[in-house]
């Protein structure tokens, strides 16, 4: 098993390595690649030192699996080149998510549809992942009619530049690099991605389209508002979801508590509810504040929190790699 990480020096790439170690992902050879400016950079992993290689050199090595965390343009250019040498690409960017010929995978939700024929597999947006993990079993039982979601997204979702801006502002540095058009410290910015003509941002549209694709329902009603908040790690979501079938709140809680990848943290009388601090460096999707919406039939409100660098990116990609690895071993 030859495993490649493309974008190994970035925020997500570093977390991918951490998750690979924690989950004891088995490989015989590890190849790390990044941009030309990072070639030769040493990275310590499991007691060994690896030097970052050029992407072209890694393609020539014909890895079995390549996990991409290097941006959409890089993926669009290089993923087909890896595919041509027989590599299975698992891509963290938005490049392939809505391509009708590519699968968009969250293992707890639709991992069973991955096959040996899949050569480029898309990893969803971090906000989409945690929402569908929380809602999947409820959808199976009650059938979702409509989702209204507002996100409270950490600066790590914007990458190292977002983290740097928040750190600079907290340290009184005014002339550092800017990821956002406005200050992020002591502020909330209702802007993620680029604004489209309909007034929604590209990040909001991703939540709509990706949820429909993963859930297998092109008519599912989803509307979203994305907000960036001054938190380093962990995205939070306020979700209002309506179902086609009658619900019982205790059944809802029971389903959530038994759902793969979900931790129900819902005891408001004891001030127990999910927060980004709870999710930090964990793989679970935390759900709390589960309650009936008293203004709409068969509708609940819930609060969902997850580490956007882990389950929202790195862990989900590694879980897909585990599925692919099992198929490769089965084939051999």
pLDDT at 54 over 90: yes
Question: Average pLDDT in the 255-264 region?
Answer: 98
pLDDT tens figures, 146-189? 999 999 999 999 999 999 999 999 999 999 999 999 999 999 99
Same domain, 54 and 111: yes
CATH number at residue 24: 3.40.50.720
Mean pLDDT confidence for 41-45: 97
62: helix, strand or coil? coil
Sequence-ordered list of residues with C-beta below 8 angstroms from that of 8, at least 6 positions apart, any chain: 14, 16, 17, 32, 33, 34, 43, 52, 69
Catalytic residue among 126, 139, 188, 191: 126
Q: Are residues 142 and 258 part of one domain?
A: yes
Average pLDDT of the chain is 97
User: Do residue 249 and residue 265 come from a single domain?
Assistant: yes
- Co-location of 184 and 296 in the same domain: yes
- 136-146 confidence digits (pLDDT tens): 999 999 999 99
Torsion of CA 8, 12, 14, 17, to 10 degrees: -90
Question: What mean pLDDT comes out for the span 125-138?
Answer: 98
The residue with tokens 């991955």 is 114
- Which CATH number do you get for residue 214? 3.30.360.10
Q: Are residues 193 and 260 in the same domain?
A: yes
Q: pLDDT value at position 330? A: 85
Candidates 139, 188, 191, 235; catalytic one:
235
The pLDDT of residue 332 is above 70: no
Return the number of other C-beta atoms located less than 10 Å from residue 28's C-beta.
Answer: 8
Distance CA 331, CA 117 (A): 11
Q: Are residues 210 and 266 in the same domain?
A: yes
265 and 323 part of one domain: no
Domain membership of residue 156 as a residue range: 127-308
Q: Are residues 214 and 189 in the same domain?
A: yes
Domain count, the chain: 2
Are residue 284 and residue 322 in the same domain, yes or no?
A: no
State the Cα torsion 130-131-134-140 to the nearest 10°. Answer: -130
| CA 132, chain centre distance (Å) | 11
Rg of the chain (C-alpha set): 20
Is 126 known to be catalytic? yes
For residues 101 and 169, membership in a common domain is answered with no
The answer, yes or no, to whether residue 331 has pLDDT greater than 80, is no
Same structural domain for residues 177 and 89?
no
In the chain the first and final C-alpha atoms are separated, in Å, by 11
Say whether both 274 and 213 belong to one domain: yes
Q: Average pLDDT in the 258-287 region? A: 97
């Amino acid at each position: 098993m030859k495993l490649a990480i493309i974008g190994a020096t970035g925020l997500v790439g570093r977390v991918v390595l951490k998750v690979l170690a924690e989950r004891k992902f088995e490989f015989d050879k590890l190849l790390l690649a990044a941009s030309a400016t990072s070639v030769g950079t040493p990275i310590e992993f499991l007691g060994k030192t690896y030097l970052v290689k050029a992407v072209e050199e890694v393609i020539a090595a014909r890895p079995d699996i390549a996990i991409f965390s290097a941006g959409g343009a890089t993926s669009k250019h290089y993923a087909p080149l890896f595919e041509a040498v027989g590599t299975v690409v698992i891509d963290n960017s938005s490049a392939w998510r809505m391509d009708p010929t590519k699968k968009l995978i969250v293992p707890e939700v639709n991992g069973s549809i991955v096959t040996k024929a899949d050569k480029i597999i898309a990893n969803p947006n971090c906000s989409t992942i945690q929402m569908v993990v929380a809602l999947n079993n409820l959808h199976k039982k009650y059938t979702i009619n409509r989702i209204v979601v507002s996100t409270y997204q950490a600066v790590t979702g914007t990458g190292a530049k977002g983290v740097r801006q928040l750190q600079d502002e907290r340290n009184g540095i005014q002339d550092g690099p800017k990821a956002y058009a406005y200050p992020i410290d002591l502020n909330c910015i209702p802007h993620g991605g680029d604004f489209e003509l309909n007034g929604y941002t590209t990040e909001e549209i991703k939540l709509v389209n990706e949820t429909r694709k993963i859930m297998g329902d092109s008519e599912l009603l989803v509307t979203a508002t994305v907000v960036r908040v001054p938190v380093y790690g962990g995205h939070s979501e306020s979700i209002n979801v309506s179902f086609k079938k009658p619900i019982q709140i205790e059944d809802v809680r029971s389903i959530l508590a038994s759902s793969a990848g979900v931790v129900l943290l819902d005891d408001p009388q004891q001030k127990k509810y999910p927060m980004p601090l709870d999710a930090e460096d964990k793989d679970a999707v935390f759900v709390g504040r589960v309650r009936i919406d008293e203004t709409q039939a068969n509708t609940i409100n819930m609060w969902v929190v997850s580490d956007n660098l882990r389950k929202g990116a790195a862990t989900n990609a590694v879980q897909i790699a585990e599925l692919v690895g099992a198929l490769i071993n089965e084939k051999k």
